[in-house]
Copies of this chain bind each other. A is one copy, B any other.
């Protein structure tokens, strides 16, 4: 590990550099420094309640993109972090850092889309904050959302709970959010416009937990994409993953755009996709519960947990070989969320 003196863009990537930063700088902040800071939400007891809490700041560029905007993304992102922790989203805060000069009309549009997203995600926005920074010291608007939710008793979802034999489920096609952002940023027009998949996953997770309370791990696939999520679980659970390229859903247009843009779809961010690690005997009923939800119509079982190669994700490719799916090391696409 090299000694770095400055923060690089890659430190925000969701990949290796970010994990280095968390380990070296942020972990000492946590009350139990041996705990796993990589779960999507913290779970604790407060005044007798069993709660989850999660925070995310959104710095996506551009702030409006096909399929959504920074406001919708900010609400869905926090709803999803709660949902994949097994929590029912209840309350949310929203804090805006606005660059001087932002059009009030743009802010109104963002706020309106946050309101719709809160309704859809079943969460009440109860408190907020606004700061304004000088022109050139921010970029239009950054939004932090922090959410709390109640965790159902009996649910214990955590990145360290995957066990050999478990199966890997995904709720649909990967890569649409990242590709939509990149195309919007580069102002590339495709015949088929690719829209972000941003969506609140709370109802999907509710249905999945209805099929089995014993889901071992769950992760929404944001920065770093499917590869980061699986690598994090592999490391935390000390198991290996074997996944099958031909089972991973992906839209043709997204695959085509990734080829043109030189992106690996396994590394591309999503904001309406999750991966679940489920006991083999529960997998089919959980899969069926996903297929019955509109956000899981293309749900698939894409692989399994193995004892071999702990900490590593290995993919059987469509041509029949095997390759290691590594975590992104630098920055593929900054400011994706």
Interface residues of A (CB under 8 A from B): 4-13, 18, 21-22, 25-26, 28-31, 37, 41-42, 44, 46-51, 53-59, 61, 90-91, 93-105, 107-108, 111-112, 114-115, 118, 124-134, 136-139, 142, 144, 146, 148, 150, 334-335
Contacts and interface: CB of A to CB of B under 8 A. Distances in A.
A48 B49 contact: yes
Given A13-B132, A26-B130, A42-B127, 16 more contacts: A5-B105, A9-B100, A11-B130, A12-B133, A25-B107, A29-B118, A29-B125, A31-B125, A42-B93, A42-B126, A44-B91, A48-B49, A55-B144, A133-B142, A133-B335, A137-B138
Nearest to A142: B97
A42 to B, nearest CB: 4
B9 A134 contact: yes
Contacts of A46: 49, 51, 90-91, 148, 150
B6 A57 contact: no
A54 B104 CA distance: 25
A31 B126 contact: yes
Contacts of A51: 46-47, 49, 148
Contacts of A98: 7, 11-12
Contacts of A136: 136
Nearest to A223: B131
Contact of A22 (B37, B47, B125, B130): B130
B144 A53 contact: no
B104 A29 contact: no
14 contacts: A4-B104, A6-B102, A10-B132, A12-B98, A25-B104, A26-B130, A28-B112, A29-B94, A46-B91, A46-B150, A55-B95, A95-B146, A132-B334, A133-B334
Given A47-B150, A111-B25, A114-B29, A104 B41 contact: no
Contacts of A125: 29-31
A97 B57 contact: yes
B130 A12 contact: yes
A251 B13 CA distance: 47
A331 to B, nearest CB: 8
Contacts of A56: 95, 129
A8 B132 CA distance: 8
Name the residue in A124, A133, A134 with the highest tally of chain B Cβ atoms < 10 Å from its Cβ.
A133
